[in-house]
Amino acid sequence: MKRLVLTGATLLLALACTAFAAGDSDRGAVLYQNCATCHGDDAGGMYLSNAPALAGQYEWYLETQLKNFQSGIRGTHAEDVQGQMMKPFSLTLGDEKAVVDVVAYIGTLEAAPQAAKIVGDAAAGKSAYGTCTACHGANGEGNPTLKAPRLSGLPDWYIARQLHSFKQGFRGTRSDDAAGQTMRPMTLALDDTAINNLAAYISGLSRGASVAGTATTVRPSSTSGTATSTTAGGLLVAKVSGEHVPYSNPLEVGNPLFAACASCHGNEGEGNAKFNAPRLAGQEAWYLSRQLQNWQDGIRGTHPKDVFGMQMRPLAASLRGGQVQKLAAYISGLAGDYSEATLNGDVKAGAATFNTCASCHGANGEGNKALNAPKLQGLPDWYIARQLQAFKAGVRGQNPRDQYGQQMRPMAVGLSNEAVIDVASFIATLRPGIEPLKVATTASPSASGGGGSAAGKAAYGTCLACHGANGEGNQALNAPRIAGQQAWYLEQQLRNFRKGVRGTHAEDIFGKTMAPMAAGLASDQAVSDVSAYVATLSGAKSAATLGGDASAGKAAYGTCMACHGANGEGNQALNAPKLGGLQDWYVARQLKNFKTGVRGAHAEDTFGKMMAPMAMALDDAAVNNVAAYIATLPE
């Protein structure tokens, strides 16, 4: 046997511990003879064999790692040399009973600690270890409840190697390594010196007593250290410098489901910048439930750059039955303190930008369930900025099942990095019952004085995220082709969205997405500018999708022709927009909206009311047919 490598410096939070069957240590002693070649007769490990100490480690953890090697969760990365060596030896344990037996034998062994091999500053490492204590314990004793292995007794070189493996992506990047994914984000902010210091401190920890049952929650005080910010993977990461003083709170009162959450988010949901854990206290239960469900379903936490989402996913996966709702309800009742600002953005500029956000999230960030807009009050500035950056970069809002994330993404895409910091700084000032700062949005000056394309092009920066750079549209985002549409009609519809004539019906999901975008246009002049610019675009038409009968649709179009023209060219005198170039799916949706009263029922929608009776004469097949025919019309 060459090298047996089992992880020690791993895991933060994960699934609830699995109950493992008792093993036969006598049979395990025979099986362990191969392992002893590298790990030693006493399982104390050997530096020259790259084999860590196994003695004293939790049996559930050793069993999990052996199974991870067997299944390929570990030991398959091209640069994980030691892991690749370990994988075939794990396979020699032919069945689950053999794994359990050899682990049972290892549990009977005791070993002396290995000599230090790494030069590190243990005092500096002690400060950095404040983060680790939340799961691994003040003395590195580990915590089975949090799936955190024992660290005390592990050699410094092995701890350093595993931290490097997580940081470099050799471990913790596979979608089936839920537990490893929770550890990786913790290592991304560590440089080589910090890793050596941390390893030096951990290797000096005395062997503590095993933790059994429900563990005391240990976390750094939320008031220690000074918060700053940096980036990891292009996303904002909160930092806290200074000494961290851990303390214990067994959560004697409250929902026991929250115990694991409290390790990072605080016992009162106040959040902890050191753990990149936002404030949860007081967030609406419906939103918390949805996000936990999104993590369970892989809608969040599966993007390769969503390192913090990966950290959350296994926690959510551990909740079963009605536990998601119970946990969400408990968190919504917490009243943890607010955190101090860290980003120092221009709050006044952020208040002006927030005018667009307020359309959905409320003037004071109170949220709006009807619009699927979460409460923003109380969220720390660094967390708001990170989420906006995630939406901008496509880390969030790209999953086809993330309907509400897709609605949010275009809002973020239109923000510069500076604007992200400014609006995050403003949102962090919002408090219940306190009137927020209000700043009027200033209109962009028109380069041409009236509908100028320069100003319109600038305003279109928000629109292009959904409608495309050339107005070609995007069905995945439910955004129609608008290229070449007549400016008068675009202007009319944008004003309708701004006034609530469109986008306010309870069933107009996609209209609600559009309403805040239109509200972001500061003035009538801005509406004119962007409409004039869109009218100059020439994005390509997309292929038909509905499979309607265009020949039958041509006959039905005879009625439409009177207003929209024989070739769908439109007629401003009759307030009939151009139809040529529109996608069949969009035409069909609007006809159905008119039929059902989603459009055309508002008291001020004069021209929509004219369309409603026309659509009512069409059954679903006729709707698809006429949409198919309109899709054949020239632009």
* 421 and 461 share one domain: no
Residue range 106-127: average pLDDT?
90
DSSP-derived secondary structure for 178-196: HHHHHHHHHHTT--HHHHH
503 and 554 co-located in one domain: no
pLDDT score, position 441: 55
Q: Has residue 11 been placed in a domain?
A: no
In this structure, what token pair is assigned to residue 368?
A: 């709006």
Both 72 and 201 in one domain: the answer is yes
Phi, psi of 348 (to 5 degrees): -65, -45
Identify whether 266 is part of a domain: yes
Q: At what angle do helices 381-393 and 403-413 cross, to 10 degrees?
A: 100
Task: Note the pLDDT of residue 254.
Answer: 53
What is d(CA 544, CA 552) in angstroms, rounded to the nearest whole number?
A: 15
Residues near 227 by Cβ (< 8 Å), separated by ≥ 6?
238, 239, 240, 273, 339, 340, 342, 382
Mean pLDDT in residue range 393-399:
88
Given a cut of 80, whether residue 141 has pLDDT beyond it is yes
Summarised one tens digit per residue, pLDDT across range 462-494 is 788 789 889 999 887 789 999 999 999 999 999
Q: What is the DSSP secondary structure assignment for residue 371, as one 8-state letter?
A: G
Question: Is residue 10 in some structural domain?
Answer: no
Tens digits of residue pLDDT in 145-163: 778 899 998 999 999 999 9
Residue reference for tokens 């404030």: 279
Q: Is the per-residue pLDDT at 94 higher than 70?
A: yes
Query: Residue 366: what pLDDT?
Result: 95
Q: Are residues 34 and 168 in the same domain?
A: yes
Residue 243: count other Cβ atoms within 10 Å of its Cβ: 11
pLDDT band (50, 70, 90) for residue 139: very high
- Structural domain includes residue 20: no
Residue range 246-265, pLDDT digits in tens: 223 333 345 778 877 887 79
Residue 374 · residue 383 · CB < 8 Å: no
Tens-place pLDDT, residues 287-319? 999 999 999 998 998 887 887 887 788 778 778
Residue positions counted in the chain: 635
* 15 lies in some domain: no
Residues 6+ apart with CB under 8 A from 52: 5, 6, 8, 39, 45, 154, 155, 158
CA dist list (Å): 359 to 291, 350, 364, 391, 498: 22, 15, 11, 18, 10
35 and 70 fall within a common domain = yes
Q: What is the pLDDT of residue 249?
A: 35
φ and ψ at residue 219, rounded to 5 degrees: -155, 160
* Spatial distance between the Cα atoms of 380 and 435, rounded to a whole number of angstroms: 18
| pLDDT of residue 451 exceeding 80 | no
Domain end point (choices 427, 445, 471): 427
199 has a pLDDT exceeding 80: yes
* Mean pLDDT over the full length of the chain: 82
Same structural domain for residues 579 and 499? no
The pLDDT value given to residue 286: 97
Rounded average pLDDT over 377-384: 96
- What CATH number did the domain enclosing 390 receive? 1.10.760.10
Question: Which of 112-116, 122-126, 243-247, 483-487 bottoms out in mean pLDDT, i.e. has the lowest?
Answer: 243-247
pLDDT above 60: residue 18: no
Cα separation, 369 vs 371, whole angstroms: 5
Residue 397 lies in a domain: yes
Indicate whether 335 belongs to any domain. Answer: no
The answer to whether residues 89 and 194 belong to one domain is yes
Predicted confidence band of residue 230 (pLDDT cuts 50, 70, 90): very low
Range with the lowest mean pLDDT among 28-42, 228-242, 281-295, 353-367? 228-242
CA 607 to chain centre: 41
Domain count, the chain: 5
Tell me how far CA of residue 32 lies from CA of 48, 89, 106, 151, 320, in angstroms. 19, 11, 8, 22, 37
Q: Give residues with Cβ within 8 angstroms of 489, minimum separation 6.
A: 570, 572, 577, 578
Q: Average pLDDT for residues 166-184, to the nearest whole number?
A: 83
- Predicted local confidence at residue 261, as pLDDT: 83
Using alpha carbons, list the distances in angstroms from residue 239 to 122, 277, 429, 525: 20, 11, 20, 43
- Phi, psi dihedral angles at 368 (to 5 degrees): -155, 105
**CB count in 10 Å sphere of residue 514:** 22
Determine phi and psi for 246, rounding to 5 degrees: -70, 150
* Residues 6+ away with beta carbon under 8 Å from 321: none
Tell which wins on pLDDT, 422 or 260. Answer: 422
CB count within 10 Å of CB 565 equals 17
Closest listed residue to residue 388, CA positions, set 367, 365, 405: 405
Count the Cβ atoms, other than its own, within 10 Å of residue 112.
10
Taking a C-beta distance cutoff of 8 angstroms, is the pair 207, 56 a contact? yes
**Predicted confidence (pLDDT) at residue 562 exceeds the cutoff of 80:** yes
384 found inside a domain:
yes
Q: Does residue 183 share a domain with residue 64?
A: yes
Name residue 474's beta-bridge partners.
479
Same domain (yes/no): 178, 55:
yes
Structure tokens at 117: 């091999």
Task: Provide mean pLDDT across the span 370-381.
Answer: 90
Question: Which pLDDT does position 7 carry in this prediction?
Answer: 33
Domain boundary (534, 562, 587) is at 534
Q: Average pLDDT, stretch 213-229? A: 34
Q: Which domain holds residue 308?
A: 218-329
Residue 194 and residue 84 share a domain: yes
Calculate mean pLDDT across residues 358-387.
90
Per-residue pLDDT at 121: 94
Q: Same domain, yes or no, for 203 and 226?
A: no
What is this structure's pTM? 0.53
Determine the pLDDT at residue 4. Answer: 31
Q: Where is average pLDDT lowest: 216-230, 371-385, 525-539?
A: 216-230
- Residue 449 scores a pLDDT above 70: no
In degrees and rounded to multiples of 5, residue 143 shows phi and psi of -155, 105
pLDDT tens track for 568-615: 999 998 889 999 999 999 999 999 999 999 999 998 998 888 898 899
Q: Closest by alpha carbon to 383, among 246, 276, 262, 243?
A: 276
CB 57 within 8 A of CB 150: yes
Instruction: Please tell me whether residue 456 adopts helix, strand or coil conformation.
Output: helix
What's the DSSP call for residue 256?
G
Does one domain contain both 111 and 88? yes
Instruction: Tell me which of 168, 200, 215 is where a domain ends.
Output: 215
Q: State the pLDDT at residue 14.
A: 32
